[in-house]
Amino acid sequence: MARRRKADEALPLTPVVFHTLIALASGPAHGYAIAQEVERETGGRLRMGPGTLYGSLQRMRDEELIEESANPGEDGVHSERRRYYRLTRWGAAVLRAETGRLRRAVELADGRMGA
Amino acid sequence: MTTAERLYRMLLRLYPASFRSEYAADLEQALRDRSAEHRHAGSVGRVRLAWFVAGDLLRSLPSAHMQSRRALRAAAGRGGGPSGFGVWAADARYAVRGFVRRPGFFVAAVLTLALGVGASTTMFSVVDGVVLRPLPYPDPDRLVVVGVRTGGEQRLFPSTPPDFFDMRGATRSLEHVAASRLQSLTLLGDGDPLSVTGAGVSPSYFDVVGVRPMSGLAFTEADDSRGAEPVAVLSWGLWQRRFGGDRSIVGRMLEFDGRRFTVVGVMPRRFHPPEAIYHGDVEVWFPLSLVSDDLDQRESGFLQSIGRLAPGVTVMAATSELERISATIAIEHPESEGRVWSIEPLRERTIGDVGTTLAILLGAVGFVLLIACANVANLFLVRATERSREMALRTALGAKRSVLVRLLVIESIVLSVVAAAVAAVLAYGGVAAFRATNPGDLPRLAEIAVDVRVLVFALVVSLATGLVFGLVPALGAGRTGQAHVLREGAAHLSASRAMSRLRSGLIVGQTAVALVLLAGAGLLIHSFVRLHQVDPGFQADGAVWMQVRIGGDEYPSPEARHAFFATVLSRIGSLPGVEAVGGSENMPMGANSSVTSVSPEGLVPGPQEQPPVVEFNRATEGFFEALRTPVLRGRTFSASDDRGGEPVAVVNQALATQFWPDRDALGQRLKLGEPASESPWMRVVGVVGDLRQRGLGEASDPQLYIPWRQAPRTGVAFVVRSRNEPGSLLRAMKEQVWAVDPTLPIERYGTLESHVAGSIVEPRFYTLLLSTFAGLALVLAFIGLYGTIAYAVEQRTREIGVRVALGARPGDVVWLMIGRGMLLTGIGLAIGGVVTLASTQVLSSFVFGITPRDPATLALTALTLAAAALLACWLPARRASRLDPAHTLRTD
C-alpha cells in the first residue's frame, strides 16, 4: 500500500528517522548499534535513549521503512539475543529522496549565498 | 539484576502493553549496554546516565502511547474488533457513559456501597492497628511478659529484685530478660517543671525489645552498677517536645527529681515501649540500680519483667522451665516459696479484652455493610429489570452471552472502584475522628492508620460486594426469556416473580439486621442516659480541681508536708471570689482510690474473719463544702483537727448503715486495721452523703475519711468552688502553688464537670460509635424500603390508574402500597426481634442500670424502625394516590 506512494510524500524526515536510515544504509545493525552510529554520525548531538530509539524503530517498522533481519552473525557473544534491522526497499527509496531533497536545498542555499 | 535495572523494568510498565511486549527486552539490553559504557564514569557519570534515561523515558512515552492507539484504531478499522485490554477499556468507557447518562442509579449505588465499605474500612483499620498487626518489634512473637503467679491466681505479679536476678541467672529458654520499674519524676530546667513517666530498666531491656537508641548508646552493664555515673535515654517524644529535637542532646546533663543525669541516647520515633502499650507512655529510661536502692529485699515485689524467648523455644517449654527454676529458688530462699515464675505472650497481654469490644464493633459494622449490600443488590435488580429489554434486544441481534456478562462485570467493577475510592476518603475521616475521640482504653492507638493494607481491604470488600450483589441479580434477570421480554411493551415490564421474591427477601433481611443494630445502640444509649442521671454525690458545676504532688525527698517529714499544703490551702482560699476550698488525697472519680480494713469498736470478728474493707481517703477542712456533698449528721473536718487534736473520722451514709444499722453513727469509734492493731481509735464526728469515688458507673461503697492534717501525705487534689471563670481561676491557683514552691509540676487540673465526664468517656465513646452505625443502618434500610416501594408504585402506575378510574379513593391506594411494605417490615421485625433477644447478651458488660433485654428499649427500637418504614412507604404511596387516572392510562 505504502510502497505505491511516491517517496517524496514521506518527506521531510525527522532527524532521528533520517539518521537511523543513514546508519542502516551500510547494512543491518541491532538497536543499540544504530544508536551508537547515529551518535557518532552527528558528533554526539543526537543521543537516543532506549525509549526514543525503540519508539522510533517501532514507528519506522510500522511505516515499513525498515524491517527485522536475520542476525548477520558478525557480532559478539550476545548477538543472537539482539534484534537486527535493515532498510526495506521503500526505506532506501525514502532515504534517497530525502538526501536528494536536502542536496537540492543545499545547492540552492549555496548558490544564493554565493559560495 | 541491579537495583537500577529493576527500577527501569518497573518504569517500563508505563509504556503501552503492545510496545512493551515487543521491545521490553531490547530496552533493557540497551540500558545495560549504556551502563556498560558508563562503567568507569564514576558516580557523576551514573547520575548523568540516570538523568538521561529518565528524560528519554518522559520524551518517548507520549509518542509510544499515540502510536499504540493509532495501531488499535487501525486494527478496529479492519473489522477484527479490538482485542485484549482494548475490549475491556471500550466496555469500561461504555459503562461510564451509561452511568453518566443515568447518574441517579450510579450515585445511589456508589454512595450506598461507599457508606458500608467506608464504615467497615474504618473499623478494620482500628482492628488491624490494635489486634491484627504484629507488635512493632523485631520477632514480636518471641516477646513475653514475665512475672510471678501466687496462690493460683491467673494474673502475673511483679517480682522482688532478688527473685528476678535468680531467675535471670538460671533461665535458658529466655534469650534475654529485663526488669523495669515505672516511676514518675519531675524534669527541671528548660521551662515549667514537667512530670514524666520514667522506667528504671536493666541493661538487657534494649536486647529484649530488639530496638536500640537511634542516636547515642544503650545502657551497658557498667551503667547499671552502684556508684556508676547517672545516665538516661530519652524517648523521641520527650526529645521533640522538650528539646525541639536538638541534635546536641546526647551528652547533655538533665535534672530529674533533683539528680543530674547524662543523656546517652534517644530512642527512635517508632519505638513504642512495651510498658506503654498497657500503661500510658514512658518518656525516659534509667539503669535500674540508679533509681532503686531497695534491690536486695525479697519481701515486696515491684519489678515488671519482659523477656525474649530463645529461638525455637515455645511458651509451654519456657513456662515449665520457669516452674523448675522457681522451685529451686524456693529451696534456697524459703521466703520466695509460693511465687512461681511464669510468662504470657506480650501480644495477649497488650490486646487483652479489647478484643471482645472490637469484635462487637466489627460485627456491628459488618451489619451496616450487609444492609448496604442489600440496597446495592436491590438497585442492580431494578436496573437489570429495566435493561432486560436492552439485553434481550442485544441477544436477538446476535450478541453472545459472554459479551453481555463481560459488560455487566465491567459495570460492577467501575462502580466498585469508584465506591472504594469514596470509601477510602470516608475511612481517612473516620480514622482521624476515631483517634481524635481517643476512647482512653484502647492500646496501640498511635498505630491505627489508613495504610496500604486498609486500602486493599476497602478495594477487595468493595469489589466483592459489587460483583456478588451487582452481578448475580443482573445475571438472574438476564436469564428471563428474551422472546417474552421483547413482546411486552416497555412500560409494562414487570419483574419476574422470582426477582420480586428476591427483592422482598432483601427488604426483610435488611429490616431484621437493622433492628438488631438499633436494639444494640438503643441499649447503650439507654444505659448512657441512666449513667448520666446518676447523682455523683457532689455538685459538679461551678468548681475546679487541681492535683499537686510534692517530692518525698524534698519534704521528708510530715511537718514539712503539712506546712506546704496548709500554706497553699490558705493562699488559694484567699483568692478573690473563692467560696470554698478543700482537698483530699484521692480525687473522687480519679485514677486512684484507696481501701483499708477497719474495725468498729465492739465488733468481735470470728476466728477466721477479716475486718471489713472500706474506701479510705484523707480530706482537709472545706473539702465537703467545696464539693457541696450534703452533711447528714454532725460536722465535717476543721483546721483544728490536726496532729495535736483528737483522732476523728467522717463516714458516709453507706458505712454508717453497714456498721451501725440500728444506732446513731455519731460518737461511735473505729480504728484502721484489726481490733487489736496499734492504730488509735477515731471518733465519728460526721456523716456525709454517698460519693461516687470510682466513677459514675461504680456503686458507692462504704467510705471512711480522716483529717488530712492528722496524716499529711505527698499529694493533694484541691477542689475550689468559685463563681469566677475557671481558666483564670486555675491560673491564679497555679501561681499560688508556685509562689510556695516553683519546682512543682502541675499538669492535672480542670473543671469538676469535665472531670466527671471523663469518668464516663469510655461508655460515651462506644455508645457514640454504635449509635453512628445504627444510624447508618436506619438510613440505609429506609432508603432500601423507599426505593422498593417507589419502584413498585412506578411499576403499577397503570393498575393504580385503573383502580382510581373504577372509583378507588386515594386512601385505598395509599394503603394498598403501604400494605406490602409494612408486611415485609413486619416479617423483618419479627425475625430481627428473635435474633436480638438471642444476641444482646454480648452487650451485658456494656449496659448500666438495665438488663440487656430491657423490654422498654427493645419495644421503642422496634417502633422507631416501624415508624421509619411507614414513612418510607408512605412517601411514594402518597404519590401513587395523586396519580391522574386519565394520564396514567394514556401513557402507554
Rounded to whole angstroms, how far apart are CA atoms B413 and B464?
Answer: 9
Question: Which has the closest alpha carbon to A48: B22, B56, B34, B41?
Answer: B56
CB contact under 8 A, A51 and B71: no
Q: What is the mean pLDDT of residues B740-744?
A: 86
Q: What is the mean pLDDT of residues A85-95?
A: 90
Rounded to whole angstroms, how far apart are CA atoms B773 and B520?
Answer: 10
For B99, residues 6+ apart whose C-beta sits below 8 A from its C-beta are B105, B106, B411, B414, B415
What pLDDT is recorded for position B80?
44
What pLDDT is recorded for position B81?
47
Residue whose entry in the numeric block shows the C-alpha cell 469484635 = B359
Q: Is A83 on the interface with B (CB under 8 A)?
A: yes
For A50, residues 6+ apart whose C-beta sits below 8 A from its C-beta are B26, B27, B28, B30, B31, B34, B53, B56
Query: Smallest CA–CA separation between B111 and chain A, in Å?
Result: 43
| DSSP secondary structure, B59-116, as one string | HHHHHHHHHHHHHHHHHHHTTS---THHHHHHHHHHHHHHHHHSHHHHHHHHHHHHHH
Q: Which residues in chain A are contacts of B64 at CB distance < 8 A?
A: 51, 55, 58
Nearest-Cα residue of chain B relative to residue A55: B64
CA angle B516, B517, B523 (to 5 degrees): 90
Q: Say what percent of chain B tops pLDDT 70.
A: 90
pLDDT at A74 over 60: no
For B523, residues 6+ apart whose C-beta sits below 8 A from its C-beta are B840, B843, B846, B847, B850, B852, B854, B857
pLDDT at B492 over 50: no
Rounded to whole angstroms, how far apart are CA atoms A3 and A9?
Answer: 11
What pLDDT is recorded for position B888?
67
Give the range among B25-39, B169-183, B366-380, B664-678 with minimum mean pLDDT.
B25-39
What pLDDT is recorded for position B274?
81
CB contact under 8 A, A50 and B26: yes
Residue A1: pLDDT band (50, 70, 90) is very low
CB contact under 8 A, B67 and A59: yes
Rounded to whole angstroms, how far apart are CA atoms B261 and B280?
Answer: 23
In our burial notation (b when 16+ CB lie closer than 10 A, e otherwise), range A43-56 reads eeebbbbbbbbbbb
B27-41, B329-343, B374-388, range with greatest mean pLDDT: B329-343
Residues 47-66 of A with CB under 8 A from B: 47-55, 57-59, 62
Q: Which residues in chain B are contacts of A55 at CB distance < 8 A?
A: 19, 60, 63-64, 67
Q: Say what percent of chain B tops pLDDT 90.
A: 22
What pLDDT is recorded for position B79?
44
Rounded to whole angstroms, how far apart are CA atoms B573 and B720?
Answer: 8
What pLDDT is recorded for position B821?
86
Q: Is the dihedral of CA B492, B875, B857, B537 positive or negative?
A: positive
Rounded to whole angstroms, how far apart are CA atoms B695 and B589?
Answer: 5
- Asked if B589 contacts B692 with a C-beta cutoff of 8 angstroms, the reply is yes
Q: What is the pLDDT of residues B397-446, one digit of tens each?
A: 777 777 777 778 888 888 888 999 999 899 889 888 888 776 655 666 76
Rounded to whole angstroms, how far apart are CA atoms B497 and B476?
Answer: 12
pLDDT at B159 over 60: yes
Q: Is A6 on the interface with B (CB under 8 A)?
A: no
Q: What is the mean pLDDT of residues B9-36?
A: 82
What pLDDT is recorded for position A3?
45
Q: What is the pLDDT of residues B584-622, one digit of tens each?
A: 988 888 766 677 778 888 776 666 666 777 888 999 999
Query: Smallest CA–CA separation between A33 and chain B, in Å?
Result: 9
Query: Smallest CA–CA separation between B57 and chain A, in Å?
Result: 6
CB contact under 8 A, A59 and B57: no
Query: Smallest CA–CA separation between B470 and chain A, in Å?
Result: 42
Rounded to whole angstroms, how far apart are CA atoms B514 and B364?
Answer: 10
Q: What is the pLDDT of residues B533-567, one digit of tens each?
A: 888 889 988 999 998 888 767 788 888 888 999 99
Nearest-Cα residue of chain A relative to residue B26: A82
Residues 9-48 of B with CB under 8 A from A: 15, 19, 22-23, 25-31, 33-34
Rounded alpha-carbon distances, angstroms, from residue B670 to B163, B186, B617, B691, B708: 39, 38, 15, 20, 17
- Asked if B299 contacts B335 with a C-beta cutoff of 8 angstroms, the reply is yes
For an interface test with A, give the residue of B28, B49, B63 to mutate (most A CBs within 10 A). B63
For an interface test with A, give the residue of B9, B23, B66, B72 to mutate (most A CBs within 10 A). B23
Q: Is A32 on the interface with B (CB under 8 A)?
A: yes
CB contact under 8 A, A49 and B60: yes
pLDDT at A18 over 50: yes
Query: Smallest CA–CA separation between A77 and chain B, in Å?
Result: 13
Residue B785: pLDDT band (50, 70, 90) is confident
Give the range among B83-92, B701-710, B744-753 with minimum mean pLDDT.
B83-92
For an interface test with A, give the residue of B60, B63, B66, B70 to mutate (most A CBs within 10 A). B60
In our burial notation (b when 16+ CB lie closer than 10 A, e otherwise), range B597-617 reads ebbbeeeeeeeeeebbebbbb
CB contact under 8 A, B26 and A31: yes
Residue A28: pLDDT band (50, 70, 90) is confident
What pLDDT is recorded for position B649?
94
In DSSP terms, B284 is beta-bridged to B198, B234
Residues 52-91 of B with CB under 8 A from A: 52-53, 55-57, 59-61, 63-64, 67, 71
What strands lie across the sheet with A66-69, from one edge to the other?
A29-30, A84-87, A66-69
Residue B639: Cβ within 10 Å count: 14
CB contact under 8 A, A51 and B67: no
CB contact under 8 A, A49 and B26: no
Q: What is the pLDDT of residues A35-45, one digit of tens each?
A: 888 988 888 88
In DSSP terms, B743 is beta-bridged to none
Q: Which residues in chain A are contacts of B59 at CB distance < 8 A?
A: 49, 51-52
Q: What is the mean pLDDT of residues B38-65?
A: 76
What pLDDT is recorded for position B222?
82
Residue whose entry in the numeric block shows the C-alpha cell 457514640 = B768
Q: What is the pLDDT of residues B644-664, one digit of tens each?
A: 889 999 999 999 998 898 889
Q: Which residues in chain B are contacts of A58 at CB distance < 8 A?
A: 19, 22-23, 64, 67
For an interface test with A, give the residue of B7, B9, B14, B29 to mutate (most A CBs within 10 A). B29
CB contact under 8 A, A55 and B30: no
What pLDDT is recorded for position B651?
94
Residue B77: pLDDT band (50, 70, 90) is low
DSSP H helix total and E strand total for chain A: 4, 3
CB contact under 8 A, A50 and B31: yes
In DSSP terms, A29 is beta-bridged to A85
Amino acid, res. B469: F
Considering only CB atoms, B60 lies closest to which of A32, A55, A62, namely A55
Q: What is the mean pLDDT of residues B201-221?
A: 86
Mean of all residue pLDDT scores within chain B: 83
What pLDDT is recorded for position A2?
43
Residue B485: pLDDT band (50, 70, 90) is low
Q: What is the mean pLDDT of residues B219-228?
A: 82
Q: Which residues in chain A are contacts of B55 at CB distance < 8 A?
A: 49
Residue A5: pLDDT band (50, 70, 90) is low
Query: The pTM is what?
Result: 0.62
